Structure 1
């Protein structure tokens, strides 16, 4: 005989039962909280990396070491070292632990500081600071757009990546031509391309969380996401500095 007074039986969910709306809301709130934590971790890493780069660049300039990196063999070593870190992190991602990736990220931010120290030899400190804050404001707005927009930016991302390749080719060509007009055109396009990549990468990182959450790879994704946004910020800053920077 059925026990209609058994509350445990009444609370048990059987086949064909309708999910309660409260359960869906709770799952949505949990997902949103996890996403916010994930993105905040990415922004914290990225911001810390930018600050470390700025501190190293300023100290390197103040100690006079920047003059050693402005020309000669050391210039090429310092300039290419960040690329070596990026390649190591990208190709060794699956084999490296999260701790190793963290060390490489901080090492990358440090050598970038050494590389960027030479901008203090070419531009005034006031114009560098003004450009930095202008870049920070633009980055915040673009990243917020990428996070909140409902529009799919994937198609734009493919176009922008192709634009980066074209930009690199144009920069190599101009190393031989030395055209100031082409240099300004490259800087203008560079600002636009990395501004677009900021919005695109933010949306991409947000969507990646949907299938990375709860996995072992999620911790690594935070560091690699910070690296992507870091590169967007630094490149936008460097190209914008060609317009806003006052020469020494």
Structure 2
């Protein structure tokens, strides 16, 4: 934020132009993120619909009274393929999508983000088999309200949030490790703690990432880094998309009603 204030002080006549560009940039970030969330939701809902049938003769695997897994459902929820589906988005996020998007054109980077959103939808589709649709929608709306407030705070606050970054990233790494361990332990108490801490971490990341996106735009716009500006909205959208998605999943643990 100190950099942001310094730039604005010395920008002179360019301040109004940068402010106008910043508003357009943030609108594009939120718009791209919203499209990504819509793609994820539709993909998860559609795949979950294809994974369930009322015909017991298809696989014979009953998930609840009168509903059975289809061959697709058996493959993605029961077979060893479920581990690939579970960890593939995480592997892509850490080892693939970032470097690929940085080397790609602006349109290719955006397409990569939308493809990633589909893969996330596949990995999330099981929530429609576990939780009621009402509780999923309710949790989504609560997450949306919380996200909007936190993002607005990050955008408008004069407080420098950059010091939170390292701490929050370390927290995310710790969460991932704890979640992997709990896959084998299956401890409800540990899952409760993970979910509670996860909500707090991604709430902080929402505010932090919003301020970072704003500050980065100001810095690059001042020097006219057009190549970065062309792809920056997609990078920003990806960051906020992940913050929203993770906060939603952790809140669903508390608010979701199971079928």
CA distance in 2, matches of 1:219, 1:67: 42
Task: Give the TM-score normalised by structure 1.
Answer: 0.86
- Which of 97, 121, 135 is residue 113 of structure 1 equivalent to? 121
Residue number among 134, 143, 147 corresponding to 2:142 in the alignment: 134
Please tell me whether residue 104 in structure 1 is matched to residue 112 in structure 2.
yes
| RMSD after superposition | 1.6
Partner of 1:59: 46
- Point out where structure 2 has 5 or more consecutive residues left out of the alignment: 1-10, 52-71
CA drift at 1:222? 1.1
Aligned ranges for residues 23-172 of structure 1 at < 5 Å?
24=12, 26-64=13-51, 65-66=72-73, 68-86=75-93, 87-172=95-180
Q: Distance in 2 between matches of 1:179 and 1:51?
A: 32
Q: For 2:234, which of 210, 223, 227 is the aligned residue?
A: 223
Quote the Cα distance in structure 1 between the aligned partners of 2:74 and 2:35: 26
In structure 1, the residue matched to 2:61 is: none
TM-score between both structures, scaled by the size of structure 2: 0.82
Contact 1:52 1:110 in 2 (8 A): yes
The range that moved more, 134-143 or 75-84, is 75-84
Larger CA deviation: 154-163 vs 56-65: 56-65
Report 1:182-221 matches (<5 A). 182-213=190-221, 214-215=224-225, 216-221=227-232
What runs of 5+ residues in structure 1 fail to find an aligned partner? Answer: 1-22
What's the offset of the Cα at 1:49?
A: 0.2
| Structure having the higher Rg | 1
Equivalent-residue separation in structure 2 for 1:131 and 1:224 (angstroms): 26
How many pairs align? 225
